[in-house]
Amino acid sequence: MVRVVLVHGAATSARVWDRLAPLLPDHDVVAVTRPRTGDLARELAWLAPQVEGAWVVGMSGGATIGLALASGPVPLAGAILHEPAVGRLAPSLLGPMVRAFEEGGTTAFARTLYGDAWTPELFGEPVDDAVTARELAMFRHFEPEPLSATPGRVVVTVGERSPAIRHASVEALRSAYGHEVLVVPRASHFAAYESPHEFASTVLAVIAPTH
């Protein structure tokens, strides 16, 4: 059975995968809630034993962490990464979220990033602006690197309905590092929560050839 580890982004927890996980019934699916330290090295070290030999599926900041995993020493079966941050390749990508957080804290940040479908319950614990601040700082400082020698198949996805800057960011990643890019039909940034069937179909289409 294929192991799939679901990795969440900022202002969310494992609960953000509640709608998608049941759509992968023939897989060993684990949705983790990261320690949310704001330190990328510590997040990767915490994830390492859980993702070794597994498929990593990440959305938003979880996709950013997935990119870091795919560039590191831990062997993965592969990764499916939905709309990660890409650092200098699209330096204005996170600007609206930064401004929203400065003006209205976690709720404003999350609603700007994910839309009105986000609720405080998805945070997984009482909403804490200090947690969001350190996560946001970590993702703002992230810079993608070339894939490791043995990361498995790495696919970066973008929602069909996502704004132009999201499409441009994944194309910049493809141009810089050769990442494979797929479009998730009828989806936007919050794909796993708002468009779980479409995102699950994309995940299964990528993983299926490994069976």
| pLDDT number for residue 211 | 46
CATH of the domain at 197: 3.40.50.1820
pLDDT digits (tens, 9 = 90+) for 44-54: 999 999 999 99
Q: Cα dist. 85→8, 12, 88, 136 in Å?
A: 13, 16, 9, 11
Tell me which residue range forms the domain holding 194: 3-210
Task: State the pLDDT confidence band at 151, using cuts at 50, 70 and 90.
Answer: confident
Q: With 80 as the cut, is the pLDDT of residue 66 above it?
A: yes
Q: Alpha helices of the chain — where are they, by DSSP H?
A: 40-51, 61-70, 95-114, 129-141, 164-177, 191-194, 196-207
Question: Mean pLDDT across the stretch 103-112?
Answer: 98
Domains in the chain, number: 1
What's the residue count for the chain? 211
What is the model's pTM?
0.97
Amino acid type, 138: M
